[in-house]
Amino acid sequence: MTAIQDIERKTDEIQRSLYSLVRGEVPSLFDTGTWKGKVMEWAMRDESVKIPLFRFIDALPSVTHDSGVVRLLNEYFENVQDSPLVIKRGLRSLAGTGILPSVAGRIIRSRVASFGRQFIAGRDAEDAENALRSLRDEGLAFTIDLLGEEALSGPEIVAYQRRYLHLIDSLARKTALWPQQDLLDNDHVGPIPRVDVSVKVSSFFCHLDPVHWEESVSRAKEGLSPVIEKAEETGASVTLDMEHYYLKDLTIDIFKSLLEDHPALHFGGIALQAYLKEAEQDVVGLVRWARSAKRRISVRLVKGAYWDYETVVNRQRGWPIPVYLQKSATDRSFEDLTRILLENVDAVRPAIATHNLRSISHAIAVADSLGLPRNALEFQVIYGMAEPIRSALKKFGFRVRVYTPVGELIPGMAYLIRRLLENTSNESFLRQTFFEQAAASQESAPPDSSPQEIDLDRGFRNEPLLDFSRADNRRRMNEALESVRRRFGSSFPLIVGANEISTGQPIVSRNPADQSQIVGTVSSATAEHAEAAVRAARSAWISWRRTPPEERAAYLRRTAASMRSHRFELAALEVFEVGKPWKEADADVTEAIDFLEYYAAESIRLGTPRRLGAYPGEKNLYVYEPRGVGVAISPWNFPLAIPTGLVSAGVGAGNCVIFKPSGLSSVLGWHIVNLFREAGLPPGVLQFLPGPGGEVGEYLVSHPDVDFIAFTGSKEVGLKIVELAAKAREGQRSIKRVIAELGGKNAIIVDETADLDEAIKGVVESALGYQGQKCSACSRVIVVGDSFEEFCSRLAAAVDSVPIGRPEDPSSLMGPLVSEEAVRKVQSYIALGKRDGKLLYERDPGLGGLYVGPAMFTGLPLDSPLLHEEIFGPVIALVRAGDLDEAIDISNSTSQALTGGIYSRSPASIEKAQAQLRVGNLYINRKITGALVARQPFGGMAMSGVGTKTGGPDYLQQFMNVKSISENTLRRGFAAE
């Protein structure tokens, strides 16, 4: 018998005996004799009720009035048949036939709280003491997890630290008095701490992000240090929990660095997730590191709790999926990792954290085969789950540690929902074993080792953003910044027809972070150049209009390819030319690539004539043709994406385009045109004509030989262009088409059922991303009901923690404004806010130059300019609304209607917002910026634009005329077909 067969045989044997110990036992959660068991049974029987049930439970703590609970319950369950009694009662009381809604609400609330208590040992150390003591009396060890997800601000971190310090102190004192239990207090090497706490690194630094690696490591360590020092002092151990994959390498780095700085820490541990494809290399790396650092570490091996998140979010980002897609592959990996850990118990103290009898039995079989004593191996289970398994393991003589959450119900909800989903999923071992009573033998087969990857995406794919958790990408970005810096001060000519023209009239482009630095100079065009450009465009159009759509698309695709290969340099140039932080700059480059690819596909789709009608004897065609010569005029704030979108739509549709960039981003503008040139685009099809908007811009707009204007910019300039274009001039041959995307005054509504953590994060990102200089930025927040004060103070604290600094430093989330004019404008609105309303928050970044810190106001009159005019800076006006209707009215009260959003967990409120909010792009429970090509086609209505959505299926049509052709195919009585 081979060693593998031997392990298999032993695993099987152990599993049978463990199974015989758990058979007939029911974990309290699945006991259908209790109402909790009934609800779980109901959720597991029918997937269509599980989601509303868990979503309802998730939203519940945010509802402050008991009667609101019943309303919410009704919203979630109105269409669900066969609800359990407790829910029926709630619904009936709403109809006025049963108990009062407020009473029903209270009952429901207390039942959910009792559900929470199933998984949560207590509110704090004192409250959890009895639970911990009974675990110990049962012969079980514990690790405590203080509930709370991410920290959003400095004060929230401090509060979290305090809770941990108190917890460790109080438990250290109490557990010192407990009688010794050899199995729990020692392993085969020596003593192990009685107090073990588990911490999430993201709770100790609110901007934890690998993009600024060193800053994240040092700030997270700074946040964690008091906790580690307390553990050192009291002899406790600390385990770092593992969160999302994006933070994995960073977490491992922080772990190692913490241990290096704290040699006296009795035990440091880290959790590793077997569902990650990289888990093996991480385990091996940690073992090697522990050995070289000459210290033992503990490793908690888990399967991984964020599988849905990892598959959904990484697919959304277009990044490789880091987790195994098949459960069996994770199980296989778990077994491989178990073996590695057990083979290295001199360097690691392994904790096998699973409820799966097969995985447990395999670990025991491997440990036995290695001749390890029982106390060398620890199992971990989750509080409130798998009681039969933990007692069976105890009977086998193993140390079992219970992962025990402690905390309040609201921050505990995310945790509770994770546990409920885990227990009710079809693949849950507990469900299969104790709910469906699947035979033990079904599980004993070794996990399949050849998983198949499933590809769910079809069609257009967005260009993936750079993953800055990769050291290589950070290195390349730093190199690109260096190389762009070396080329500061270069000059760029006009491109008219096939000629490059240097005019001697420079447009100087300066680095907003340091205005003494000249990023580059671009020649400024005059009316004569504009005239020459129109003539060149007209003559180039003669052949360009006849170029087949496939060929036109190929130019766009080649330009996309070269943009892709220069993406780091282009992003670095954005950092310097317009002051975009790294991630924002990268996102702009990817969007530009998306526009090229998407419009290439669209030009082929629309360029292919469509046959209409199915009648014999006639052939009807619907044919899109280019309009002619167009002008593209763009703003500076998305200096690559917007102009690339405007010109590629025009050129892809078969037009010749004269491009006038913003004076603040003309170096990037030149690069766009140059990339098209390098892709081989014939001269005259796309020309580069920077110059003063009021001169060159207006000259082009008014020119009789220009057929359309594609403009993105402010309302003022947009309206002027509409007016100029409306006037027909002598010799003009077509009515000009104006495609204009203008500014916004965008609001986010936060209703009573909103997840405040998510809403605060969303508002911060939407309002302060790129210093608020986005047309889609949030500048009004309308909070419904009683949480206004809490929301305002938490938002102010979160805003206060946002780091401001030079955009080339990746730890800066905010940089300078783009120009002196922008600074003056923003400051004038801040002064107005101080006069008319109440200043909630203001910060002077103290950096001089063009830096303006965020400012927030409440108590503004509803007609205040701060609630109606686009400010284009980091200024937020907060308004309180009595109810959702009022919030919607306030949101709709501006003349502009670009983006808007709502944070809500009430299905009825979300439905109402969808129907009544007057905006071009509505976002629900997410930030209101960052629209993606083909996924959230972008553009406003009312005074925010005349045009269809960029990156959407109607966009290219605006650059074309439609011809309808009908041919009679019947000649002398014979049809051609």
The catalytic site residues sit at 741, 775
> CA 435, CA 97: separation in Å to the nearest integer?
35
Site size for ligand NAD, by CB under 6 A?
31
> Measured from the CB of residue 624, what is the shortest distance to ligand NAD in angstroms?
23
SS3 for 874-943 is CEEEEEEECCHHHHHHHHHCCCEECEEEEECCCHHHHHHHHHHCCCCEEEECCCCCCCCCCCCCECCEEC
Our CB check for ligand NAD shows the closer of 714 and 827 to be 714
**Choices 99-107, 341-349, 386-394, 709-717 (CB under 6 A): range interacting with ligand NAD:** 709-717
> CA 135, CA 121: separation in Å to the nearest integer?
11
Residue 417's contacts (CB-CB under 8 Å, 6 or more residues apart) are 54, 57, 58
**Choices 70-78, 286-294, 370-378, 715-723 (CB under 6 A): range interacting with ligand NAD:** 715-723
Q: Which of 27, 407, 853, 945 binds ligand NAD (CB under 6 A)?
A: 945
Our CB check for ligand NAD shows the closer of 628 and 945 to be 945
Q: Which of 405, 743, 901, 952 binds ligand NAD (CB under 6 A)?
A: 743
Contact mark string toward ligand NAD, 578..607, x via CB under 6 A: ------------------------------
> Measured from the CB of residue 231, what is the shortest distance to ligand NAD in angstroms?
50
Q: Which of 266, 538, 720, 918 binds ligand NAD (CB under 6 A)?
A: 720
- Residues in region 669-698 near ligand NAD by CB under 6 A: 693-694, 697-698
> Taking the CB of residue 543, how many other CB atoms lie within 10 A of it?
11
Q: Which of 701, 817, 876, 888 binds ligand NAD (CB under 6 A)?
A: 701
Residue 615's contacts (CB-CB under 8 Å, 6 or more residues apart) are none
Of 93, 84, 71, 105, nearest to 34 by C-alpha is: 84
> Measured from the CB of residue 507, what is the shortest distance to ligand NAD in angstroms?
10
Determine contact, residues 471/351, Cβ cutoff 8 Å.
Answer: no
Q: Which of 237, 662, 753, 891 binds ligand NAD (CB under 6 A)?
A: 662
> Taking the CB of residue 490, how many other CB atoms lie within 10 A of it?
12
Amino acid identity, position 245:
Y
- Residues in region 765-804 near ligand NAD by CB under 6 A: 775
Helix 3-22 and helix 357-369, axial crossing angle in degrees, nearest 10? 130
Q: Which of 32, 218, 674, 714 binds ligand NAD (CB under 6 A)?
A: 714
- At 243, phi and psi to the nearest 5? -110, -130
Our CB check for ligand NAD shows the closer of 584 and 751 to be 584
- Across 461-534, the runs of DSSP E, i.e. the strands, are 490-492, 494-496, 499-501, 506-511, 514-523
> CA 943, CA 719: separation in Å to the nearest integer?
9
Residue 95's contacts (CB-CB under 8 Å, 6 or more residues apart) are none
**Choices 73-81, 510-518, 597-605, 708-716 (CB under 6 A): range interacting with ligand NAD:** 708-716
By CB under 6 A, tell whether 324 contacts ligand NAD.
no
**Choices 49-57, 166-174, 439-447, 741-749 (CB under 6 A): range interacting with ligand NAD:** 741-749
Our CB check for ligand NAD shows the closer of 256 and 745 to be 745
By CB under 6 A, tell whether 712 contacts ligand NAD.
yes
Contact mark string toward ligand NAD, 612..641, x via CB under 6 A: ---------------------xxxxxx---
Our CB check for ligand NAD shows the closer of 203 and 648 to be 648
Our CB check for ligand NAD shows the closer of 652 and 663 to be 663
106 is written with which tokens?
């209270």
- Residues in region 841-870 near ligand NAD by CB under 6 A: 870
**Choices 6-14, 317-325, 742-750, 907-915 (CB under 6 A): range interacting with ligand NAD:** 742-750
**Choices 160-168, 296-304, 740-748, 839-847 (CB under 6 A): range interacting with ligand NAD:** 740-748
> Measured from the CB of residue 446, what is the shortest distance to ligand NAD in angstroms?
56
Contact mark string toward ligand NAD, 131..170, x via CB under 6 A: ----------------------------------------
DSSP character at residue 264 = T
> CA 597, CA 325: separation in Å to the nearest integer?
29
Long-range contacts of 693-698 (CB under 8 A, 24+ apart): 693/633, 693/660, 693/663, 693/717, 695/526, 695/527, 696/524, 696/525, 696/526, 696/527, 696/529, 696/530, 696/660, 697/631, 697/633, 697/660, 697/721, 698/724
Q: What number of residues does the chain have?
A: 977
> CA 564, CA 566: separation in Å to the nearest integer?
5
Our CB check for ligand NAD shows the closer of 548 and 694 to be 694
> Measured from the CB of residue 777, what is the shortest distance to ligand NAD in angstroms?
8
Q: Which of 22, 742, 763, 960 binds ligand NAD (CB under 6 A)?
A: 742
By CB under 6 A, tell whether 547 contacts ligand NAD.
no
Q: Look-up: residue for tokens 């003593």?
A: 191
Residue nearest to ligand NAD (CB): 693
Our CB check for ligand NAD shows the closer of 131 and 928 to be 928
> Measured from the CB of residue 706, what is the shortest distance to ligand NAD in angstroms?
12
| Element holding 823 (H helix, E strand) | helix 820-836
Estimate the share of the chain in helix, then strand, then coil, as percent rounded to the nearest 5.
50, 15, 35
Contact mark string toward ligand NAD, 641..660, x via CB under 6 A: -x-----------------x
> Measured from the CB of residue 955, what is the shortest distance to ligand NAD in angstroms?
12
Our CB check for ligand NAD shows the closer of 225 and 936 to be 936
Our CB check for ligand NAD shows the closer of 480 and 507 to be 507
**Residue 272, CA distances (Å) to 149, 220, 448, 451 in order:** 18, 19, 21, 21
Our CB check for ligand NAD shows the closer of 322 and 635 to be 635
> CA 795, CA 618: separation in Å to the nearest integer?
66
Our CB check for ligand NAD shows the closer of 539 and 714 to be 714
- Buried/exposed code over 94-106 (b: 16+ C-beta within 10 A; e: otherwise): beeeeeebeebbb
448 is written with which tokens?
């399949």
> CA 643, CA 670: separation in Å to the nearest integer?
11
- Buried/exposed code over 493-503 (b: 16+ C-beta within 10 A; e: otherwise): ebbbbeeebeb
Q: Which of 223, 322, 713, 873 binds ligand NAD (CB under 6 A)?
A: 713
By CB under 6 A, tell whether 940 contacts ligand NAD.
yes
Write out the DSSP string of 285-346: HHHHHHHHHT--EEEEEE--S-HHHHHHHHHHHTPPP-B-SSHHHHHHHHHHHHHHHHHTTT
> CA 288, CA 286: separation in Å to the nearest integer?
5
Q: Which of 156, 422, 741, 755 binds ligand NAD (CB under 6 A)?
A: 741
> Measured from the CB of residue 712, what is the shortest distance to ligand NAD in angstroms?
5
By CB under 6 A, tell whether 721 contacts ligand NAD.
yes
Q: Look-up: residue for tokens 């429901």?
A: 108
Our CB check for ligand NAD shows the closer of 368 and 698 to be 698
**Choices 242-250, 521-529, 707-715, 839-847 (CB under 6 A): range interacting with ligand NAD:** 707-715
Contact mark string toward ligand NAD, 870..909, x via CB under 6 A: x-x-------------------------x-----------
> Measured from the CB of residue 339, what is the shortest distance to ligand NAD in angstroms?
56
The residues that touch ligand NAD, with contacts defined as CB under 6 A, are: 633-638, 642, 660, 662-663, 693-694, 697-698, 701, 712-714, 717, 720-721, 741-744, 775, 870, 872, 898, 940, 945
